[in-house]
Amino acid sequence: MKTLSLKPLLFEIPDFLSEDECKLIIHLAQLKGLQKSQILPTEDYEEAMEMIEISQMDIFNLLDHNQDGQLQLKEEFQVLTHTRLGNGRWMTPQSVRDMYTAVKADPDGNGVLSLEEFKQLNIRDFHKYMGSQDVKMSDLVRNSQHTWLYQGEGAHQVMRSIQQRVMRLTRLPPEIVEHSEPLQVVRYDQGGHYHAHETACSHTKLISNESAPFETSCRYVTVLFYLNNVVGGGETIFPIADNRTYEEMSLIQNDVDLRDTRKNCDKGNLRVKPQQGTAVFWYNYLSDGEGWVGDLDEYSLHGGCLVTRGTKWIANNWINVDPNKRRQLQFQQEMARYAKEGAEAQNEWTVDKSYSNVHVEL
């Protein structure tokens, strides 16, 4: 095991998977069938946006990153790439400028919007402009296909073996690893990418009892497996790994966005080259100092560089933990009860045992 960085805590493990295991995972994914990881924007976009109850003042405050009462292009661009306001598109500084010019958002042309100027804007004009633009897959935040492979009881023995090795690697309790997401398998064709992002938490209702609390599922740990050698590109980029300091606004300097994996992967701090069988393992969250999950590690910002030649296959094992320890224990108790009663929660990955007995000649 090789330590690649301390911020985030990131390791590389060569030969974690054998060549045959890599081929099997790809084959099972192809049998299962892959779907687009992100679909093109739909005509329902404007309607969906109008359902979001947020005032213009709230939007202004959201965009005003430094809270100086004015909106600079960099602030607007920073938020647009993180929110649904971009309709799934990857917003570049130039695309934001084009949008503001088209809707005449900056009447005095000084590149800065005051609160009063912002109040004069009609948000629908932004929606109409975004809806009028032709969008290609390469314009989206990610361009790939993926599927999920079950690893629980009754799964293919290789799937079970990989999960056991992940338990030993992470040294996390079996009940946490076993109740995490299934193995995600991803294919990036030539031209595929995933712009740099942080792995955040999601809020789900996994328990049918309406009085039960929501499960907050944070991807505490990522274990990423390279399933093939990529002919060109396709590195995993950590743009700010081991930076001395972190400032979100500094990710964009002179129209160079370090999160843009189609253009600026060569400017990031750390790139990991895909090598078949290698695993990279990192923590997306810090410790709270008491042996549990703490705050998001902002240095874990990562993405998939543009595949310039060939195809890239990877797989992800995420270890899900609720930052609320009491909720996590309650969730584990509920899952244990379901297992005991023989009525496991009806999730996609708990019922998908289609390939438990598949035999593949490699």
Question: Is residue 247 a contact partner of residue 327, using CB atoms and an 8 Å limit?
Answer: no
pLDDT at 184 over 90: yes
Q: Which CATH number does the domain 2-37+141-350 belong to among 3.40.50.300, 2.60.120.620, 1.10.10.60, 2.60.40.10?
A: 2.60.120.620
The residue-averaged pLDDT of 16-45 equals 87
What is the CATH number assigned to the segment(s) 45-136?
A: 1.10.238.10
Asked if residues 204 and 179 have their Cβ atoms less than 8 Å apart, the reply is no
Beta-strand ranges (E) seen in 247-361 are 252-253, 256-257, 270-272, 279-283, 285-287, 293-296, 302-304, 307-309, 312-321
pTM greater than 0.85: no
* Residue, of 303 and 59, whose pLDDT is higher: 303
Q: What tens digit of pLDDT does each residue of 325-352 get? A: 888 888 888 888 877 776 454 555 444 4
Element (H, E) at 197: strand 193-197
Which residue matches tokens 């003042």? 57
Q: Are 186 and 146 in contact (CB under 8 A)?
A: yes
Percent share of the chain, pLDDT over 90? 50
How confident is residue 25, by pLDDT bands cut at 50, 70 and 90?
very high
Contact assessment for residue 236 and residue 284, using Cβ atoms and an 8 Å cutoff = no
pLDDT of residue 217 exceeding 60, the answer is: yes
* Mean predicted confidence (pLDDT) in 222-249: 95
User: b vs e for 52-81, b when ≥16 Cβ sit within 10 Å of the residue's Cβ?
Assistant: eeeeeeebbeebbbeeeebbbbbbbbbbbb
More confident: 121 or 75: 121
Residue 261 contacts residue 194 (beta carbons within 8 Å): yes
- Categorize the per-residue pLDDT at 13 as very low, low, confident or very high, splitting at 50, 70 and 90: very high
Q: Which residue has the higher pLDDT, 29 or 109?
A: 29
Confidence label for 274 from pLDDT (cuts 50, 70 and 90): very high
The predicted pLDDT at position 74 comes to 60
pLDDT of residue 79: 53
* Count of other CB atoms within 10 angstroms of residue 256: 12
Q: What is the pLDDT of residue 358?
A: 46
Most confidently modeled range among 225-229, 246-250, 324-328: 225-229
Q: What are the residue ranges spanned by the domains of the chain? A: 2-37+141-350, 45-136
Report angle CA 99, 103, 109 to the nearest 5 degrees.
85
Predicted local distance difference test score (pLDDT) of residue 226: 98
CA 198 to chain CA centroid, nearest Å: 6
Model confidence band, residue 359 (pLDDT cutoffs 50, 70, 90): very low
